[in-house]
Chain A
Amino acid sequence: MLTDVIQTLPQVIVDGLTLGAVYAVIAIGYTMVYGILELINFAHGEIFMTGAFIGTAILLTFSGIGWLSAMPAIIVLIIVLIATSILTGFLGMGIERVAYRPLRNAPKLITLITAIGISFLLQDIIRFIAEVKKGNYIITGPSLFTGKMKLEASSLWPQFHDASFKSTFLVVLITAIIMMLVLDLFVNHTKWGMAIRAVAQDRDTAALMTINVNKVISVTFFVGSALGGATGVLFAVQYGTIDPYIGFILGIKAFTAAVLGGIGNIRGAMVGGMVIGMLEMFAAANLSGLTGGVFGAEYKDVFAFIILIVVLIFKPEGLFGKAAVEKV
């Protein structure tokens, strides 16, 4: 039984990293908005989904006019990533301007409900467009990277089985890591990043220090949504098939990751996403083996969430969160 676990470990880690990277980048979007507005932006999962659709639409257009075969795949990916993240970035800014800013002084619950409303709206708009254009809202895009690779884990330690993966895995992982690094630099080492942190700490005082709070909040939404949209593209590239409801389950899990890492903390969200992704993959692959077939792979989410509950019982502020000090 234990040998089974060890044998499949390299493969589980490879798959867990992919899923974890996707969770992590979406979790960043939740955590940034929460950090600055104390608002749980439930529409973020749908922005991710919209990104996946915009990316696939661009890819389909490219393949329609024959650019896909003419250009190297990596350049296509970069173009699609940039175009999509700009579009979803503006979408996020627009949502903030229309749905959240007028309610900024209203009770927190009201904005939460608005966020849920926005997410339904986005789901159905996308579904409508997809059905009109393609006749079916489950869309399968062209595959960009088709290569397969093998990780010779057995040469590392004979107990391991080799892990095999598609080249998209590397693309997704590397792009996600680059995005996280750039974001980390942006937040911690630029003027705008400093402004974002200042507003997150204390909005009123930041305003007194000549920071344009509205602009900073807009930028935060832009960055968070751009990241979410870009992750959508990565998701579409990795899994190929998308539908308008992918944002819901993924959004919930990414939100969980943000909470696990300590909501409001960007590095925490990254780690939280990776942890949840790994846990889920590990549980799906090994749960039935470990429990002697009583609990099958379908209980993977239960397993992941039990871990979450245990962590939060002992560390309610999350893995990286600071214990909240009431602002007076």
Chain B
Amino acid sequence: MLNKKAVSLFITAGLVMGILSGCASSSDSANSSGESEGKTVIKIATQSPLSGGSATLGEAIKLGAQLALEDQKEEFAKKGFELQLVPYDDQGDPKKGVANAQLIASDKEILGVVGHLNSGVAIPSSETYEKYNIVMVSPANTATEITDRGLKVTNRIVARDDFQGPAGAEYAVETLKAKKIFVIQDKTAYGTGLADAFKAAAEELGAEIVGYEGITVGEKDFNGVLNQVASKKPDLIYFGGMYSEGGLILKQAVDKGINVPFMGGDALDSSAFVDIAGETVTNAFITSVAGDTTKTEEGKKFADDYKKKFNKNIESYSAYAYDSMGVVLKGLSDAIEKNDGKLPTREQVRDAVRAIQDYKGVVTQVSFDEKGDNKYGKIFIYKFNEASYPATMEGEVSK
């Protein structure tokens, strides 16, 4: 009896402490934000998976955006504004993405979002942004639906899926001379969309699709599907899906003696793909919306800065996140100028971002069309010549 009482007393005490400390921290943050050092705070949020299977890419987005924000902090300080980054973890989960979007909407100091990684998350979340006029610039979303819904807030600096699939198909059929192609997809919005676009384009170019199969995300044994592949004897496998499954399929295919080129989309463009596939990665070609950052002088400098700052090598989307943040901040400073140096509203920032033309970023130039697609979006083809990341760029296709 005494024991029980003691326990309940303890729990109640814990609860009270929790409430007290909760109050304390919220009043703290109210002090620190708002009007610190007489400057108006402007927050930019990032939304990307910081935990979960694609955390490698999600973190790259956060860090890239962070670097851009810190580079321009001084400039905004001169204008009397203090920039702050608020990273959100969408866990690659649409539900979580929307919940975060609500939080972002309720924080009046947030004027823009850089994100997401997954199109499936970006689509429902952007509905919320639209409602609250928060501009979103995506460094990675390729699904056509992102901009095709005609929202005012959604912009992206990368190319679209209906361009990535066909570009891959063109390379597969014309350069790799593939005649019989086996298509595997992972039943997600991204994977199916990409695989379908590839399939249609490849058929048009005269290749035969000898099989079209789905797999389940999270499984580790793909020998069943690969047995089908083996019996159909294709001369190219195309995979629409993420690197964790793609790497295993590639490895298990080679183990089975299916030694044909393996092609996939931008979601395979990660160092983790090389880790999983190991030596077999030399069979792989990937189409990516992300270009080789280290090819240009600015890109090299960016990669060095990134390494120095975070002690990590850049991932494919690091520089795109940097440029996305650059675009948001460009729109922001345009809006501030228009507003005579005063804090602009969310609507003003939204319109200023959409109006950006010929912004020169580290990896890409940015000009938004009326839907928010980047006119300079390109598709790049990569090949892994050895088992190391990043892969070598083989070619690029522009619109």
Of B244, B257, B272, the most chain A CB neighbours within 10 A belong to B257
B251 interface hit (Cβ, 8 Å): yes
B305 interface hit (Cβ, 8 Å): no
Which residues of A239-262 are within 8 A (CB) of B?
Answer: 239-243, 245-246, 249
Contact status B228-A297, CB under 8 Å = yes
| 1/0 contact string of B152-183 vs chain A (CB within 8 Å) | 00000000000000000000000000000000
Which residues of B57-86 are within 8 A (CB) of A?
Answer: none
Nearest chain B CB to A6 CB, angstrom units: 11
A254 and B229 CA atoms in complex are apart in Å by 27
Contact A15/B224 with A241-B248, A243-B244 known, Cβ cut-off 8 Å: yes
Nearest chain B CB to A254 CB, angstrom units: 13
Q: Which of A11, A19, A240, A249 contacts B230 (CB 8 A)?
A: A11
Contact status A281-B216, CB under 8 Å = no
Which residues of A269-288 are within 8 A (CB) of B?
Answer: 280-281, 283-286, 288
B interface: dominant SS = helix
- Name which residue of chain A comes closest to B222, CB basis: A284
A161 interface hit (Cβ, 8 Å): yes
A-B pair number, CB within 8 angstroms: 97
Q: How many residues of A contact B (CB 8 A)?
A: 41
B278 interface hit (Cβ, 8 Å): yes
- Name which residue of chain A comes closest to B214, CB basis: A298
Chain B's interface size range is: 20 to 34
Q: Which of B55, B212, B216, B227 contacts A136 (CB 8 A)?
A: B55
- Name which residue of chain A comes closest to B53, CB basis: A138
| 1/0 contact string of B207-241 vs chain A (CB within 8 Å) | 00001111110111101110110110000000000
Contact A166/B212 with A8-B230, A140-B276, A239-B248 known, Cβ cut-off 8 Å: no
Residues of B within 8 A of A285 (CB): 224-225, 227-228, 231
Contact status A166-B255, CB under 8 Å = yes
Nearest chain A CB to B230 CB, angstrom units: 7
A288 and B221 CA atoms in complex are apart in Å by 18
Contact A288/B278 with A249-B219, A281-B224 known, Cβ cut-off 8 Å: no
Q: Which of A136, A280, A286 contacts B56 (CB 8 A)?
A: A136
A15 and B226 CA atoms in complex are apart in Å by 10
B326 interface hit (Cβ, 8 Å): no
Contact status A296-B212, CB under 8 Å = yes
Contact A241/B215 with A246-B220, A281-B223, A297-B225 known, Cβ cut-off 8 Å: no
A148 interface hit (Cβ, 8 Å): yes
| 1/0 contact string of A288-327 vs chain B (CB within 8 Å) | 1100000011101100000000000000000000000000
Q: Which of B55, B215, B231, B255 contacts A148 (CB 8 A)?
A: B255
Residues of B that sit less than 8 Å from A by CB: 51, 53, 55-56, 187, 211-216, 218-221, 223-225, 227-228, 230-231, 244, 247-248, 251-252, 255-257, 272, 275-276, 278
Residues of A that sit less than 8 Å from B by CB: 4, 7-8, 11-12, 15, 18-19, 131, 136-138, 140, 143, 148, 161, 164-166, 235, 239-243, 245-246, 249, 280-281, 283-286, 288-289, 296-298, 300-301
Extra inter-chain contacts (8) besides given A148-B257, A288-B213, CB under 8 Å:
A12-B224, A18-B223, A143-B278, A240-B276, A284-B223, A284-B225, A285-B224, A285-B225
